[in-house]
Structure 1
């Protein structure tokens, strides 16, 4: 699958307006597009951050949908958005253990690596990191997204509740240390969000 992410920062007091728009009109627009496989919306209400990801069967479906979403994105995010960053990724690994829940947690680890090491990064995550993650209490879903051209990626770990996410921090830190050492990866960011909704159907 292929993924488009949208990372938005703005006034925390206005974030609920953007959430409502994305969960109604925004979701309707996505569901109308061919090749759509689901989406998620995640927020940090305290700092004023909103992260969304939509999942697609092909690069073409993702590209075609973005032509529509680009025209509507500004209006959907008003008056919250101060900055908006859109990025595209390939889902190198997708592992679903149970359904995510509203008010659950998402931890994002942002990665940099040499583009020629993309397969090493994916293989290491699949063989070494994922088995550790599968033992975490409350794990809902784990995925590795990669941009092969830029040598960048993100690990998304979803938990069914915030307590499980908080309790996993030490164990995931150990898995992250092992995985980055094996795959020659640099961690450039670590963030946590509340799950507003997360619904992906890979098949």
Structure 2
């Protein structure tokens, strides 16, 4: 599958306005688009950060959907968003976990690698990282997104509740260190968000 991410930052006091719009009008717009396979909405209320992920069955479906979403996105995110970054990825690895999840936490890791090592990154995550994540208390799903052309990617690991997210930090740090070395990848950002909604239809 293929994904589009939207990363917005702004005034924390206005975050709720964007969340409300995305959970109503935004979700309706996505549901109407052919090839839509689910979405996630993640927030950092303290700093004023918002991350959305929408899933598509093909690159064409994602591209066609953005003809509508790129026009409507500003009104959905205002007056909260001061900065907005939109990125497209291939979902190279997906462990859908338990399905819809609200109130948990997600840890996002962004990394860079040589484009020639993109397959190595995917293989490392699938064979070496996922088995070690699945045994963590509260694990609720994981995914690896790749932009093979630019040699960039991100991983997201979902946990059923915030205590499980916090409790996993040390063990996932060890996994991250070892897997980054094996995949010849450089970690550039590490973030945690509250999960407001996460659902992907992998069938």
Smaller-chain TM-score bracket: over 0.9
Q: Provide the residue aligned with 2:162 in structure 1.
A: 162
Q: Does 1:194 align with 2:189?
A: no
Structure-1 separation of matches of 2:97 and 2:200? 12
Contact 1:100–1:140 under 8 Å retained in 2: no
- The alpha-carbon deviation at position 178 of structure 1 amounts to 1.0
- The alpha-carbon deviation at position 64 of structure 1 amounts to 0.3
Q: Does 1:110 align with 2:102?
A: no
Contact 2:101–2:199 under 8 Å retained in 1: no
Note the alpha carbon deviations across 1:37-62, whole angstroms, 9 max, x for none.
Answer: 00010000000000000000000000
Unaligned 5+ residue runs, structure 2? none
Q: Provide the residue aligned with 1:86 in structure 2.
A: 86
| Structure 1 stretches of 4+ moved >4 Å | none
Structure-1 separation of matches of 2:100 and 2:67? 29
Q: Provide the residue aligned with 1:95 in structure 2.
A: 95
Contact 1:2–1:58 under 8 Å retained in 2: yes
Q: Provide the residue aligned with 2:140 in structure 1.
A: 140
Q: Provide the residue aligned with 1:70 in structure 2.
A: 70
Q: Provide the residue aligned with 2:3 in structure 1.
A: 3
Q: Count the aligned residue pairs.
A: 203
Note the alpha carbon deviations across 1:111-146, whole angstroms, 9 max, x for none.
Answer: 100001000010011111111001111111110000
Question: What TM-score results when the alignment is normalised by the length of structure 1?
Answer: 0.99
1:47 partner SS: coil
1:88 partner SS: strand
2:135 partner SS: coil
